[in-house]
Structure formats: C-alpha cells, structure tokens
Amino acid sequence: MNQDKYVFAQLVEFLNNNKFRRIVDKYDGNRYVKHFTCWNQLLAMMFGQLSNRESLRDLIVALEAHQAK
C-alpha cells in the first residue's frame, strides 16, 4: 500500500514516464528547454487541476508552499 505517500504522488505513479518521454522526444518538445521540462509542466498542470486552482498566480503560490515536500 501507498500509505506513506501523498495522493498526488500516488497518482503520478500511474503515469508511464517512459511513454511520455518518447512522445516528447518524437515531437522535440524539450528542444529549447533549460529547466522547466514538459514533464514538469504536466505535473504542474495536473496539480493545478486536481487542487482546483483559479489562476496561474494561485498555482504558483501553492507550488511554492509545497516546494520542500
């Protein structure tokens, strides 16, 4: 069981990171990326949707609050 993990971490475990990476590589999604990769964007957008954030600023504040976790 995943009792010691946050719900978001449990949901991310269901994602197939290898398949996602292959799709990103196929379409060259990370071509000019330095830090904020497509995977990071996917996780940020998932967190925003699942936590019902109302704006990008609201999402940033929430992500900064959970940065150490």
What is this structure's pTM? 0.82
Residue 6 has a pLDDT of 83
Residue 55 has a pLDDT of 95
At residue 53, the 3 state secondary structure works out as coil
Residue 69 has a pLDDT of 63
Average pLDDT per 10 consecutive residues for the chain, totaling 69 residues:
78 93 96 94 94 94 84
Residues 51, 65 contacting (CB under 8 angstroms): no
Residues 20, 39 contacting (CB under 8 angstroms): yes
CA of 43: how far to CAs of 8, 28, 55, 59, 65, in Å? 9, 19, 16, 12, 15
Residue 8 has a pLDDT of 87
Residue 1 has a pLDDT of 55
